[in-house]
Structure 1
């Protein structure tokens, strides 16, 4: 799977089950009508049950310069307060924070969950959207971070 490159995202949730966040690359678009995304979360991850219980999340698409923040949210030794303190946040309309400086933040509600092997596939409807700046995107490929080059001027 290391040869399957993907955008790097920080998934956050907040609600009755508490606030939680993690780094994820298993995220992709599903449809534009309704606007929807899917994400795959290991059933053994702490985030899994919190996400199911809260029923809402924000997918924050990271910019090229945010690899360090990706590492922070992937660090299993850091508690949630330390992870969230490492960045600035703004609140989206659905009550879940969005990362300041992300290329995009998709505020979603969970429409359905499909179990597949060791993971759950969360199908999420986008309720809120926050578009960030024109910076390079961050991808993870061959166990390394890579900043995508900016689009060449026409």
Structure 2
């Protein structure tokens, strides 16, 4: 007997996850993207990473046929962008926060990290597709606290001492806000 979908969703909501924007261009060069909490390093040799995308996503046809994609790991102050890219809206890239890399990818300016991949393989996985990418380029910012999503909300990263780091590096009490 299969697991109850509601219970599975509730259980998976308890797993903290980083938040990223995944972008690719269609054949006409127009950027498309989605919010992902399923960005995972798979292998160091060769360098592989994966993202998962629902087959019902508006951008699914682009990612089902693209040759390259980029992942912009979001900072804690990028929650509005995460929500914008999670919706089925027309122009997710309005606002000018995006830049083109030397490889031609559209990425978020000021992301905690940017990982550019060529598509290594695609795997069907139920109502999703697993996009496995071979990492071609990586950029890591020196400052910034990554966004975290848990219990269906954004949360702060906190130390065992009860202080949550902020983008400025100063601790914020864990019970604040």
Same fold by TM (over 0.5)?
yes
RMSD across aligned positions (CA)? 1.8
Q: Stretches of 4+ moved more than 4 A in 1?
A: none
SS of the residue aligned with 2:145? coil
**Aligned residue in 2 for 1:90:** 99
Which of 126, 133, 150 aligns to 2:135? It is: 126
**Aligned residue in 1 for 2:160:** none
Structure number with greater Rg is 2
* Aligned positions, number: 149
CA distance in 1, matches of 2:107, 2:139: 8
Kindly indicate whether structure 1 or structure 2 has the higher relative contact order, using CA contacts under 8 Å at least 6 residues apart: 1
* Counterparts of residues 60-75 of structure 1 (less than 5 Å): 60-75=72-87
Once the two structures are superposed, residues 50-98 of structure 1 have per-residue CA deviations (whole angstroms, 9 ceiling, x without a partner) of: 012222111010011111111111122x213xx2123422212332111
**Aligned residue in 2 for 1:27:** 39
Gaps of at least 5 residues in structure 2 are 1-11, 158-163, 170-177
TM-score, length-scaled by structure 2: 0.77
* Counterparts of residues 1-154 of structure 1 (less than 5 Å): 1-16=12-27, 18-76=30-88, 78-80=89-91, 83-148=92-157, 149-150=164-165
Gaps of at least 5 residues in structure 1 are none
